[in-house]
Amino acid sequence: MHCTAALLRLKTAAPRAPLLFPVSLYCSPSCPSTRSNSTFTTPSLPANPTINFSTMAPAGVQLTLPIPQGAEHILSDDALAFLAVLHRCFNKKRLELLDNRKKVQAELDKGKPLGFLPETKAIREAPSWQCAPAAPGLQDRRVEITGPTDRKMVINALNSGAKTFMADFEDSNSPTWSNMVLGQLNLYDAVRNQIDFETNGKQYKLKENHAVLLVRPRGWHLEETRMIVDGQAMSGSLFDFGLYFYHNALETVKRGFGPYFYLPKMEHHLEARLWNDVFNLATAYCKTPTGIIRGTVLIETLPAAYQMEEILFELKEHSSGLNCGRWDYIFSFIKRQRALKSAVFPDRTDVTMTVPFMNAYVQLLIQTCHKRKVAAMGGMSAQIPIKNDPTANEAVNNKVRADKLREVTAGHDGTWVAHPALVPIAMEVFDKHMKGPNQYYNRREDVNVAAKMISDPKVPGAITDQGVRENIAAALSYCAAWISGNGCVPINNLMEDAATAEIARVQLWQWNHYGKSTDSGKKINVQNLKPIFEEEAAKVAKLPGISAKHVQIAKDYMLSQVAANYPSEFLTSDLQCHLDGGAVPRKAGLLPRVREAHQTWSSSALVSERWRAGADWLMDRADVLDPSNGGEAAAAHCPTHCQMNHRAGFQPSSTLHHSPHHGSTSLLSKPTRRTLRLSLDPLSMV
């Protein structure tokens, strides 16, 4: 049965009139009730609905940590109300789409291969549709620089001579509360050219003609657990996007560009449709001109490589192209094909852009983008200058030149660098080989990429002792630094981000899981890896800014991942509970799930009286037990309230399992935790 357009009510806590408007549904793009394969029209929101902003703090919204000093206007009541609207409109669909990823993985584990979607064949084959024209400041993107959002980095990147700067709230950022909020403050000031500051006698001042600003929010999988809406953690994506857009959308237009974004980690075109609906709602809510938003999608997951055209189609009114997120793509390739012994890779250094599966993905991306008249952006050169060694530094520069030459001659319209010193090197290569602002004219009609070419795991090379050690060192160094609040870490003359640690993590798991040996004959197993972990951990602990405690956390985590049946989805999700001194809950929004389960099951004849009694007990104490109300407060109240109802068959307990570093259900007694678990799975007690 095909879907039809629905009306979605904006639920705001402040006393404003409800607003009704259509939001596109999440059926197939070929669904005739929402769009036509001949005209490809997309439902859109009205441009300027009547919305009265409120100065009242929104009910149902809670910040679990104080607002950093000087950033109070960033998290104003009106801004929080907008974030709450985004959460209430889109979080349910976000969670459904994340659940769909698990279903796809289950099919892959059973041996079902990935491929191009038959239901969207008409979209791929239609020659007529194109994406929106390049927005102001995005016609020429030949060199882009990326980095986190600290004040000094923002100024240096905008002044670097690059065409654009991607300010990163994702992989090169450790999402501590201060990093996220002060990062928004820095971008707010940068947009208004009021970011100048002085430190240690050195002035940092923004140039008049600087790079165009783009912003990368966190991926759909990450949560902003310091902001709770209706008992649920806010989506990190919506938090980052929402604050930047709310404060800066109109200001960027006044200054000659617009609210431009990089969209990471998507695995399905319906995730792109969700972004498109977010853009439409934000435009309507904030009364901005239509068509000013642009989003460049990072193709950095294996499933997304099969849906590039569909992703562009979903975002076509807002699309500014695709980018080869090469390092995360390798990570996703290994993770999604974890059940294939044939997909075991050699050393990370052997998995280059010229191996067959990487080359196929690059060629298809360029062809797809130019077919639809948008930018095909190349990947990151993570090298950094080597001081006091001219010979080694020139070798680094030559690597960058070769990488950029490969990209521009393949047809890319621009590239990424991680350090300002590399901007003129990359610019020289693109200036020489790309005379116009882009290469949209190069349609790459010679390219014919079959589905099996994208997932071909054949990579020449070997697993070496050095490769094993480098993976361990990189994973430990990055994870320990990330927990300490630094998400952009120089390692072996490379500026590494989370993708580096992710590749190291899944490769170590892969080699252990499939019983591989190094080329010297050493068996790769946990027993043999432990001494190397100890040696490298001792080295990392001596690095500035990293505590022994954080190194221990990183080491324990990595060893557990190596020994796991399967690696977890993202280390950033796993380790977030250790940020801000352990103040971040491991899992937010548990009790709202209890409430939902209670409402669903309490009237059902399938569940027992015993379950109902336990769930009723929880409902009576929801405010006390909810970990989003604060660990210490919950711990203080639990001893007097955790007297379990005898009708539920539990023994009274006043013993707390309190860990401020882990939060969530570790605050509660064993019987309480059992009741929470049973409330979410009531049929286990039938």
Residues 173 and 268 in one domain: yes
Range of the domain at 622: 590-685
Residue 503 in any domain: the answer is yes
Residue 55 in any domain: the answer is no
Residue 259 in any domain: the answer is yes
Per-residue pLDDT at 55 exceeds 50: no
As a whole number, mean pLDDT of residues 172-191 equals: 98
As a whole number, mean pLDDT of residues 544-570 equals: 96
Per-residue pLDDT at 51 exceeds 80: no
For residues 169 and 180, the answer to whether their CB atoms sit within 8 Å is yes
pLDDT in tens, 613-647: 555 555 554 444 444 443 333 333 333 233 233 33
| Nearest-angstrom CA–CA distance, 636 and 492 | 47
pLDDT at position 589: 45
Residues 155 and 229 in one domain: yes
Q: Which of 497, 505, 612, 626 is catalytic?
A: 497
Q: Are strands 232-235 and 223-229 parallel, antiparallel or unpaired?
A: antiparallel
Mapping DSSP onto H, E and C, the string for 454-475 reads HCCCCCCCCCCHHHHHHHHHHH
In degrees, to the nearest 5, what angle opens at C-alpha 72 toward C-alphas 70 and 78? 155
Residue 542 in any domain: the answer is yes
Task: Please return the burial class of 602, using the count of CB atoms within 10 Å of its CB with bins 0-12, 13-18 and 19+.
Answer: middle
User: What percent of the chain shows pLDDT beyond 90?
Assistant: 73
Please tell me the chain's helix, strand, coil percentages from 3-state DSSP, rounded to the nearest 5. Answer: 50, 10, 40
Residue ending a domain, among 555, 582, 609, is 582
pLDDT at position 639: 30
pLDDT in tens, 56-108: 458 899 999 999 999 999 999 999 999 999 999 999 999 999 999 999 999 99
Q: Looking at the 3D structure of the chain, how many domains does it have?
A: 3
Q: Are strands 319-324 and 375-381 parallel, antiparallel or unpaired?
A: parallel
For residues 1 and 25, the answer to whether their CB atoms sit within 8 Å is no
Residues 532 and 671 in one domain: no
Residue ending a domain, among 566, 582, 598, is 582
Determine the residue type at 414.
G
Reported as a pLDDT band with limits 50, 70 and 90, residue 609 is low
Residues 318 and 434 in one domain: yes
pLDDT at position 493: 86
Per-residue pLDDT at 502 exceeds 60: yes
pLDDT in tens, 211-228: 999 999 999 999 999 999
pLDDT at position 598: 52
Decide if 216 is catalytic. Answer: yes
Q: Which of 141, 216, 294, 406 is catalytic?
A: 216
Residue 102 in any domain: the answer is yes
Residues 241 and 291 in one domain: yes
Residues 192 and 276 in one domain: yes
Per-residue pLDDT at 26 exceeds 70: no
Q: Which of these, 567, 576, 502, lies nearest to 222 by C-alpha position?
A: 576
| Nearest-angstrom CA–CA distance, 282 and 280 | 5
12-21, 156-165, 249-258, 271-280: least confident range: 12-21
| Nearest-angstrom CA–CA distance, 187 and 212 | 12
User: What percent of the chain shows pLDDT beyond 70?
Assistant: 77
Residue ending a domain, among 582, 601, 630, is 582
Residues 623 and 678 in one domain: yes
Residues 569 and 615 in one domain: no
Report which of residues 410 and 37 the model is more confident about: 410
pLDDT at position 624: 41
Residues 512 and 410 in one domain: no
pLDDT in tens, 194-208: 999 998 889 999 999
Q: Is-above-0.85 flag for pTM?
A: no
Per-residue pLDDT at 685 exceeds 50: no
Coil, strand or helix at 143:
strand
Residues 270 and 187 in one domain: yes
Residues 594 and 576 in one domain: no
CATH number at residue 563: 1.20.1220.12
Give every CB contact of residue 417 below 8 A, 6+ residues apart in sequence: 143, 144, 145, 146, 162, 380, 381, 400, 423, 425, 426
Decide if 141 is catalytic. Answer: no
For residues 589 and 240, the answer to whether their CB atoms sit within 8 Å is no
For residues 415 and 426, the answer to whether their CB atoms sit within 8 Å is yes
pLDDT at position 122: 98
pLDDT in tens, 141-156: 999 999 999 999 999 9
Residue 267 in any domain: the answer is yes
Per-residue pLDDT at 486 exceeds 90: yes
CATH number at residue 228: 3.20.20.360
Q: What is the mean pLDDT of the chain?
A: 83
Residues 522 and 661 in one domain: no
